[in-house]
Amino acid sequence: MLVMGMMVVWLGCGVERKYEDYHLPPDWDLTLTQQNHPHGFRQTKCFYCHIKANIHEVDRIGHALFPSAKPTVDAQGESSCSTCHGTNGN
Ligand code: HEC
Ligand code: HEC
């Protein structure tokens, strides 16, 4: 694990790379609301603010859908977000 982590740091050399962390509640159902997403609510261009390579990198809340998040986003892009995160007010 430590070796893997060191490799990531090494490969990321020269690139400012920080995984997104919003201190999600441990029991979060993944649904975006006006309350938990005030700065992104009703927005549609998710990748404008969320860098694809920096999301779904760390399994912090142990949600059952975590393992499928990256493959789904890779395959279906922005149109997939609502599958797990709801309509975001749209
Ligand atoms: C204008 C920038 C912006 C856009 C566009 C945006 N977001 Fe966000 N997102 C944020 C910010 C900032 C946060 C941190 C919470 C906050 O302050 O609203 C966040 C947090 C999140 C979170 C973590 C949970 C939370 O509420 O903290 C998820 C999931 C998320 N956004 C998904 C999306 C999806 C899906 C879309 C597209 C439908 C999207 N975002 C569009 C800025 C944006
Ligand atoms: C298959 C379900 C699934 C899909 C599809 C999905 N997400 Fe997520 N997303 C999750 C889960 C589960 C988490 C919680 C990860 C954790 O434990 O921190 C999460 C967390 C996030 C976060 C918080 C930061 C982080 O990495 O934990 C953002 C931002 C986010 N998603 C954005 C998006 C955007 C944008 C899309 C569409 C391009 C998307 N998600 C599609 C399941 C999904």
Could you give the 3-state DSSP secondary structure of residue 45? coil
Residue 17 pLDDT? 76
Question: Does residue 5 have its Cβ closer than 6 Å to ligand 1?
Answer: no
Residue 3 pLDDT? 59
Amino acid at 65: L
Ligand number nearest to the C-alpha of 51: 2
Residues above pLDDT 70, as percent of the chain = 82
Residue 1 pLDDT? 55
14 Cα: distance to centroid of ligand 2 (angstroms): 26
pTM of this structure: 0.91
Residue pair 33/80 in contact (Cβ under 8 Å)? The answer is no
Q: How confident is the model at residue 2 (pLDDT cuts 50, 70, 90)?
A: low
Of 88, 85, 35, 27, nearest to 55 by C-alpha is: 85
